[in-house]
Amino acid sequence: MPDAYPPGAPSLSGDLLTISRLLQSPAQITRRLRTFVDLRFISDQVLTQRFRTSGGAIAYEVSEPIVNTRPVESVAPGSEYPMDTPSPGTGALAAVEKWGQGTFLTDESIKRTVKGGDALDRALRKTVNTIITKVDGITMSAVGSAITATQAATGSGSNRWANATAAMILRDIELAKAQVVDLKQGYNPNIIVMSNTKYAYMASDPTIASLRRREATDNPVYNGRIEIIGDLIVVPAPLSSLPSDDVWIIDNEELGGMADEAEVDPGYAVSDMAIQVQSERKAKRDAWELWGRRLTVPVIQEPGAGIKITNT
């Protein structure tokens, strides 16, 4: 029988062989990580600026003034303009940390799953989610320590948003926004961060429900989501990732950013979330070793760009 020309592309047969081939390719692992669209850092939503560092630390300025110290004066015709020296912010230094974890993916778990890729996805998801949980906890602790401005929720007691008849959630949000804007530092709050419990109070609040369009598909009764309130993007988060069960209103373009190591070591696949993943075959254990990491540190530059609503 004559051979076909040109010859066909080589093919793989069997889940174990296919997954093993994938795990040897950082590019294929990167593609796999891109399918995890539901896994996202809260850190990257709160601190949107991006800094690159290669020396293990980053130097930055905190609370740089946006106005000069010398007031503007009337300038007579032909006179020189009064000069002023801009005031720098307070210098600060942050060390980059490597946060990571490893796990095993056995040949048996691949072969005994109807879809071999599901076992790989579970292993990658657990590793990525563990890194996200750790980094988010550290970042939000830094944010909670840096933001000192507070606005007490309307009412009495310690859990005021839970009282559906007395809660004034929208007013609390607008009053907190006003405090940040009135600093006259160019801050424009654009996100609100809260626990899933506080989000449930807000989404089911009868006053807010009465102000929303009733016959619209974006109503939380239909899709379970309130994406924007008071011109703020709503970011619900697990309570374990927050420093306390309060509500934060933030200008995420001014508050700060995440400083990630720019270099990627050989063999690592890099996801859109700046998580680096690598795999290695452990022949004597009939398994693959997977490990992931993120080399980063949160940088808080403008603590005044946020406020905490307490007693919610």
CATH code at position 254: 3.90.1690.10
Virtual CA dihedral for 303, 173, 195, 157, nearest 10 degrees?
Answer: 110
Q: Kindly indicate the confidence band of residue 273, based on its pLDDT and cuts at 50, 70 and 90.
A: confident
Please say if the pLDDT value at position 110 is more than 60. Answer: yes
Q: Identify whether 231 is part of a domain.
A: yes
pLDDT per residue as tens digits for the range 115-126? 767 888 888 888
Range of the domain at 117: 15-63+89-310
Two tokens, residue 48: 């949107």
Q: Identify whether 203 is part of a domain.
A: yes
State percent of the chain over pLDDT 70.
92
Average pLDDT over residues 232-248: 94
Q: Identify whether 10 is part of a domain.
A: no
| CA gap 240, 4 in Å, rounded | 61
Two tokens, residue 162: 């839970």
Q: Identify whether 73 is part of a domain.
A: no
Tally of domains within the chain: 1
pLDDT at 221: 72
Q: Identify whether 134 is part of a domain.
A: yes
Please say if the pLDDT value at position 29 is more than 90. Answer: no
pLDDT at 112: 83
Three-state secondary structure call for residue 223: helix
Q: Identify whether 83 is part of a domain.
A: no
Q: Identify whether 81 is part of a domain.
A: no
pLDDT, averaged across the chain: 87
Report the candidate in 113, 9, 94, 20 with the shortest Cα–Cα distance to residue 53: 94
Q: Identify whether 225 is part of a domain.
A: yes
